[in-house]
Structure 1
Amino acid sequence: MADPGLLGPQRRALILDLVKRSGAVRVADLVEQLGVSDMTIRRDLDALARAGEVEKIYGGAVASGARAEEPGFEAKTHLASGAKAALADAAAALVEPGSVVAVSAGTTAYAVASRLLQVRGLTVVTNSLPVADLLRDNVADVAGTGPTLLLTGGTPTPSAALVGPLADQAIRSLYVDLLIIGAHGVSERAGLTTPNLAEAQTNRALIAAARRVVAVADHSKWGVVGLSAFAALTEIDCFVTDDGLDAPARAALEESVGRLIVAGSAEDSAG
């Protein structure tokens, strides 16, 4: 614990250093680490935000310039749509007929789910309302060969994910062969992150239930850090991205994940 007698500028300097090192901080953690009140921390974050050093989000702050807001599902659908299509094709190719597959929330995971309609004998577990709607609405169009759907309960987030204790309890009772999971942001230090604390917890439950974890994220997600981390890169068996990802980021992923697939190019590296 830091010295609670620190002056305001000293305390804010420590907070800024934590933000720069980890990408994000939570008010509750800072209260414990610095030994001051919740109100004091919030005033410090206000001062840092006014100076343009950090961006405040619900429950904490992220580095200035990090994408901390959680846009709705529709708002994210058209972002990097070409890259998402390429990596969705690559990720869907990893799904074996007759397996049990979990699909997380998010538009990239949704794009993968749209490729699973023709895979025979699948059981799909999802906490995504759009994925559930997609499978339900299209199963009649695939002559009865479409996936069997299991939808978790829970409370919906702005990104149309079902999260919370109800979702977590349902997921913990399951065992799946493969998990397809997206992320709000990905970085070498923070791993896979989201701005929603409850969604992070539910994502952790999905990862714990899966024999293999396939992360899908286009190049625009690299370097973005949300409030809460839900997986280290070393927990990812296969990471699927597009060929817009730069060389240093590819090298960092190759060193950490089990396998890196770069869609839209001939590269497919084993880590």
Structure 2
Amino acid sequence: MTVRRDIADLADKGLLKRVHGGAVTTSSLLSEPLFSVKSQMDIGLKDSIAQEAVKYVSPGDVIAVGGGTTAYIFAQHLLESQQASGITILTNSIPVAELVQAMESKDIEVIVTGGVITRSNSLVGPIADKVIESLRVNTVFLGTHSVSVPRGFLMPNSLEAATDMAMMGIADKTIILTDHTKWSCTSLSLFARFDQVDTLITDDGLDKDSAEETRSLVSNLVLTHKSS
């Protein structure tokens, strides 16, 4: 099934709203969309967030990159940058692992967690968690399905939430990458409180009240401008 058919099917079911150039989520979305569908949502927003996130990586770093399309776009920009020199990437994202492997770079190492594959092409569960817990990274970069103020960051898949928590547990710093539409979503499983996050990178489409409330809860809130 093509990406367009995936989007059309979910739109017919009321789970997505079709817009020019792609689709956006609806507030009632509780399940995890396919990676192919998510990759067409809010592309400009994700791109600006991803470019900003690259600034938080230094050559030689050991980082973890979670699942989801924003994290994938971050990995794309990172691998095209000078900051990627000599880095090691731990990931539970199959698309991110394939992206690094396709580069055939002798200067970048990728470690894949293993585990159970989700609809968003992430690897989760006890196998993934055990691998993660045996390692240590400088920074973890994670996406999120929804942002709940004042609760924190949530995923629709409890196993994916647990694996994200495991990644946070081995990281010196945690950075969340998410666009402003996630403030209107609802999800099941909490994986991080605001006080557990060092930096939250989102876009300036976030309304003023939500931005002010969020800024009071997180150590560092960064608002980016949508890429054209």
TM-score by length of 1: 0.71
**Residue 126 (1) aligns with residue 87 (2):** no
Name the counterpart of 2:225: 264
Shifted more, 210-219 versus 188-197: the winner is 188-197
Matches within 5 A, 1:1-271: 65-117=27-79, 118=81, 119-140=84-105, 144-145=106-107, 147-264=108-225
Higher gyration radius (CA):
1
Q: Secondary structure at the match of 1:68?
A: coil
Conservation of the 8 A alpha-carbon contact between 1:100 and 1:122: yes
Conservation of the 8 A alpha-carbon contact between 1:69 and 1:195: yes
Q: Name the aligned partner's letter for residue 97 of structure 2.
A: A
Structure 1 distance, partners of 2:175, 2:168, is 10
Structure 2 distance, partners of 1:139, 1:183, is 29
Structure possessing the higher relative contact order (Cα contacts under 8 Å, 6 or more residues apart): 2
Q: Deviations over 1:45-68 (max 9, x none)?
A: xxxxxxxxxxxxxxxxxxx94320
Structure 2 distance, partners of 1:257, 1:109, is 20
Conservation of the 8 A alpha-carbon contact between 1:66 and 1:226: no
Residue 77 of structure 1 and its aligned partner are, at CA, apart by 0.1
Structure 2 distance, partners of 1:186, 1:194, is 9
Structure 1 distance, partners of 2:150, 2:186, is 9
CA RMSD of aligned residues (A): 1.4
Structure 1 distance, partners of 2:184, 2:40, is 20
Could you tell me which runs of 5 or more consecutive residues in structure 2 were left unpaired when the two chains were aligned: 1-25
Q: Deviations over 1:109-137 (max 9, x none)?
A: 11111112132110000000000001101
Q: Secondary structure at the match of 1:115?
A: helix
Structure 1 distance, partners of 2:96, 2:194, is 25
Conservation of the 8 A alpha-carbon contact between 1:68 and 1:225: yes
Q: Name the aligned partner's letter for residue 254 of structure 1.
A: R
Conservation of the 8 A alpha-carbon contact between 1:190 and 1:225: no
Q: Name the aligned partner's letter for residue 123 of structure 1.
A: T
Could you tell me which runs of 5 or more consecutive residues in structure 1 were left unpaired when the two chains were aligned: 1-63, 266-271
